[in-house]
A = this chain, B = another copy of it.
Amino acid sequence: MSTIKDVARRAGVSLGTASRVLSGSASTSPESRAKVQAAAAELGYITHGPARSLRRSRTDVLGLLVSDIRNPFFSELAHAAESEAMKRGYTVLLANANEDEVQADEYLRIFASQRVDGLLLSPQGPVTPRLAALLASRLPVVLLNRSVEGLDAPLYATDNAQGVGLVLDWLERRGHRDVAFVGGPVTISTGAERQAAYIAGREAHGISTDDAFVDAGDFLAEGAAAAMIRILDRGVIPTAVFGANGPTTLGALRGLRERLGVEAASRIEVISFDDLEWFEFVSPPITSVRNDAAAIGRLGVAGLIDLIEGREAVSARIAMSLVDRSLMSGPLVDRPQTGHRVP
């Protein structure tokens, strides 16, 4: 690999001039510019990132720590964040915590070691000592979708209360009273907020307040299936199920089918926080409130760059929209009608 020294020698200019041309930092004569650029092209010169970072004490790298890259919500978010960052001259170092606090902490160490210029964080739990140390070092941080106590950073997140409101309205319109709620960990802000909004609003929407209908998993399919089964094993039969995120809805569906069989399960309507591409294919189709993951990713990157470059960054809540697929199938005729207010 050729260095800037090689380029300078070949172009017949000094090291400094070559550097100035290649990084465009100061004005240079047209002749120098031409000579240096030609030499660089001939040699296939590519800046040595680590050396440049060492000298400038910045890396132009952003760390992005997501909870679960296999959750389409996060893979879409990551994708949007990455292209926004690239457009603005930054590279994203993506890490996957796999909903695991220990792994998250390990990646924070790597980010710190790589000296990322800023951090996009979707936290797993409370503020760990390592995270506290990063914050103390005044590393710019923004939060994605999940907040955490004692961490005062701009937050780019789904409007959970508004989204749950859409769900409650829909449940009421469809005449559901016996609704199972499969939530996520209440230790995660999204889990807590969605559950709280649901519990607070259900009575006003004519939904049973029997807590036998409520359980929570881990925001992954497997834990959600177990939660769904726990609900059913209490002897209640819901007419609708509300899954608190994408993987949770997947797990809830599996749980329903495992306990009730395909036939009986297909008589239960499902609504999901987070829209997945396959909901239209299930019978009956699954309705959802859609979470604009791409917007969150883009806004997060923009906000983080604002912080890095010394500007203000303001939090934003992203509104959700209802994707009502119940129209496709009409009212569920085989549903037990006891106690239902049919729309």
A-side residues, CB < 8 A to B, are: 1, 44, 46-51, 53-54, 59, 69-70, 72, 75-76, 78-79, 82-83, 86, 91, 93-96, 98, 106, 109-110, 112-115, 133, 137, 221, 250, 253, 262, 276-278, 281-283, 328
Residue of B nearest to A68 (CB): B79
Residues of B within 8 A of A114 (CB): 49-50, 91
Task: Specify how many copies of this chain sit in the oligomer.
Answer: 2
Residues of B within 8 A of A93 (CB): 91, 93
Interface residue from B49, B75, B96, B253 paired with A70 (Cβ < 8 Å): B75
B82 touches A78 (CB 8 A): no
Q: A91-B114, A277-B250 are in contact. Are A59 and B50 (CB under 8 A)?
A: yes
Residues of B within 8 A of A112 (CB): 46
Residue of B nearest to A2 (CB): B137
- Cα-based distance from A86 to B83 in the complex (angstroms): 25
B79 touches A113 (CB 8 A): no
Most buried by B among A47, A50, A75, A94: A50
Residues of B within 8 A of A46 (CB): 109, 112-113
- Cα-based distance from A50 to B60 in the complex (angstroms): 12
Residues of B within 8 A of A133 (CB): 44
Residues of B within 8 A of A328 (CB): 262
A277 touches B106 (CB 8 A): no
Min CB–CB distance A98 → chain B (angstroms): 8
Interface residue from B44, B49, B54, B83 paired with A51 (Cβ < 8 Å): B54
- Cα-based distance from A237 to B152 in the complex (angstroms): 60
In addition to A46-B113, A50-B115, A93-B93, 19 A-B residue pairs with Cβ atoms within 8 Å of each other are: A1-B137, A48-B54, A48-B113, A50-B54, A50-B114, A69-B69, A75-B75, A79-B96, A82-B96, A83-B96, A83-B98, A91-B114, A221-B277, A253-B281, A262-B328, A276-B278, A278-B281, A282-B282, A283-B283
Residues of B within 8 A of A277 (CB): 221, 250
Interface residue from B47, B53, B82, B98 paired with A50 (Cβ < 8 Å): B53
A113 touches B278 (CB 8 A): no
Residues of B within 8 A of A54 (CB): 48, 50-51, 54
Residues of B within 8 A of A95 (CB): 82
B91 touches A49 (CB 8 A): no
Residues of B within 8 A of A115 (CB): 48-50
- Cα-based distance from A79 to B100 in the complex (angstroms): 14
